[in-house]
Structure 1
Amino acid sequence: MKKLILFFMMALWFSGCAWFETSHEMEKTAEQLVSEGSSAFAAGDYKDAVKAYTDLKDWYPFSKYAILAELKIADAHYELEAYDEAIFAYEEFENMHPKNEAVPYIIYRIGLCWFNRLDSIDRDHAPAKNSLTQFHRLIDQFPESEYAQKAEKHIKICVDSLSKHELYVANFYMKTEKYKAALKRYEYLIENYPDSEESKQALNKIPRCRELANKK
């Protein structure tokens, strides 16, 4: 019985400490947390910025600064190159505030999160495809936005990366004598990237590839 009483006393003591600590921390006002987050962000201390803005969002969810905190958390993750966390935060912002004026910026940043992960043509091409999807979505939904104009130059790079990847894969199949697979890739390349330099190369390779494929 004594052990049980002692257990409850310790539990109450710990919970009291936790309550005191939380109460002490929450002595910071929303304005103070905004100031802390802004100062940390400006200084490049993005982890501290995330903490300050997260505290603001958690402690003062109905504050006029809460939406700003959500956006700056995503931006801080982006600056830290924590792109998965940034995408999650940006998408959460868009889902919660679909009519907010920052949505074009949000879509652009999601596109950049993928764009910044573009790799060599022999690697995974998902970043190029995903960034292209976001940039096209931005242009379709907000054609007059300044961010739509910025997206245009990134689209060309994405398309170039994807066409080079398709040619790389098609050539690989050709070299390994998988002619039917190579033919499909060459045809796909021509159909989807008709204006690319890679498309012209594919056109030159198709006759020989089709000939070899028919022999098998």
Structure 2
Amino acid sequence: MRTSIIFLLTALLLSACGTQQLPPTRSAAYYFQEGERLFERELYEDAVASWERVRDSYYSPELNILAELKIAEAYYLAEMYVEAAATYESFLKNHPDSDHGQRVLYYLGMSYYKQVLPANRDQTATHNTIVTFRNLLKLYPETSQKVEVEDYIHFCRNRLAQHEVLVGRFYVRTDKADAAIMRLEAVLADYPDFTTREQLYYLLGEAYLQKEDKTKAVESFNNLYANYPDSKYIKKAKKSLSNYF
């Protein structure tokens, strides 16, 4: 009886194995089209998964390039800007002479720009935005996005200047006049297009007063008054000067 049961189970297993259907192998073209359908439905991460199958299949160089571009675009639209930037960077490294270079540089710059933090935070993304967009203008000076890109660069340079002013303010508050002066004077030299110098002039004047350089202090406060006659810092500057004269 036991022998009969074992024989029956073995027969059933063999029968099952004989009729089991393996899943059909999908082509790279299938996964590419699947990614397109998911992308149109704004299922960006699912679309990325499909296009990664295309990329990893190495079906053809042309299809791989399209898949890489689609992956980066999906990350960007999903607001996954770190992943988008990494994918665009990888594309430029792997395809330095691609006809898609201008578009890739633009969206790489935008991926960094979307990561820019307030002036009191880390400014790595701000630096990366400037470097990328300057490279775009250098390689493609006739780009139709020139004015837009220049505006982004201007914004980011102002953000970097604001960051340096905040560092200078910290040094003034901690009585580190030399460090404050070095930072703040560098802003004047390195960022001539910096548009909000109100606090900078005031802090620079305070730093020079800490150094007992009254001439430089008065010069800084005069710049404050001349450029920002309604500034809230003027009253503070007058009070500081009255303590030294």
TM-score when normalising by structure 1: 0.80
Offset from partner CA, 1:36-83 (integer Å, 9 cap, x none): 111111211011111111111112432632210011111122223332
1:126 paired residue among 113, 124, 127? 124
The answer to whether structure 1 residue 24 and structure 2 residue 58 are counterparts is: no
Partner of 1:92: 90
Alpha-carbon shift at residue 156 of structure 1 (Å) = 1.8
Give the conservation status (yes or no) of the 8 Å contact 1:77–1:86: yes
Q: Secondary structure at the match of 1:124?
A: coil
What is the identity, as a one-letter code, of the residue corresponding to 1:113? Answer: S
Provide closer, same or farther for how the CA distance between residues 62 and 34 of structure 1 changes in structure 2, counting only shifts above 3 A. same
Partner of 2:176: 178
The correspondence of residues 1-216 of structure 1 with structure 2, limited to 5 A, is 24=23, 27-62=25-60, 64-199=62-197, 201-203=199-201, 205-213=203-211
What is the identity, as a one-letter code, of the residue corresponding to 1:115? Answer: Y
Provide closer, same or farther for how the CA distance between residues 182 and 38 of structure 1 changes in structure 2, counting only shifts above 3 A. same
2:131 and 2:38 map into 1 onto residues whose CA distance is: 33
Alpha-carbon shift at residue 205 of structure 1 (Å) = 4.1
1:147 and 1:100 map into 2 onto residues whose CA distance is: 19
Aligned residue pairs: how many? 194
Give the conservation status (yes or no) of the 8 Å contact 1:190–1:203: no
Partner of 1:13: none
Alpha-carbon RMSD across the aligned residues, in angstroms, is: 2.4
2:26 and 2:69 map into 1 onto residues whose CA distance is: 20
Identical columns (%): 29
Worse-superposed segment, 176-185 or 82-91 = 82-91
1:198 and 1:63 map into 2 onto residues whose CA distance is: 50
Offset from partner CA, 1:177-201 (integer Å, 9 cap, x none): 1111110111110011113234465
Unaligned runs of at least 5 residues, structure 1: 1-19
Q: Secondary structure at the match of 2:151?
A: helix
1:175 and 1:112 map into 2 onto residues whose CA distance is: 36
Which structure is higher in helix share? 1
What is the identity, as a one-letter code, of the residue corresponding to 1:37? Answer: G
What is the identity, as a one-letter code, of the residue corresponding to 2:78? Answer: L
Q: Secondary structure at the match of 2:62?
A: coil
TM-score when normalising by structure 2: 0.71
Q: Of the two structures, which has the highest relative contact order with CA contacts closer than 8 Å and spacing of 6 or more?
A: 1
Unaligned runs of at least 5 residues, structure 2: 1-19, 214-245
Offset from partner CA, 1:12-31 (integer Å, 9 cap, x none): xxxxxxxx99x836x22232
Alpha-carbon shift at residue 170 of structure 1 (Å) = 1.0
Provide closer, same or farther for how the CA distance between residues 200 and 191 of structure 1 changes in structure 2, counting only shifts above 3 A. farther
Larger Rg: 2
Offset from partner CA, 1:94-131 (integer Å, 9 cap, x none): 12211112111111112112111122211112211111
Worse-superposed segment, 106-115 or 190-199 = 190-199
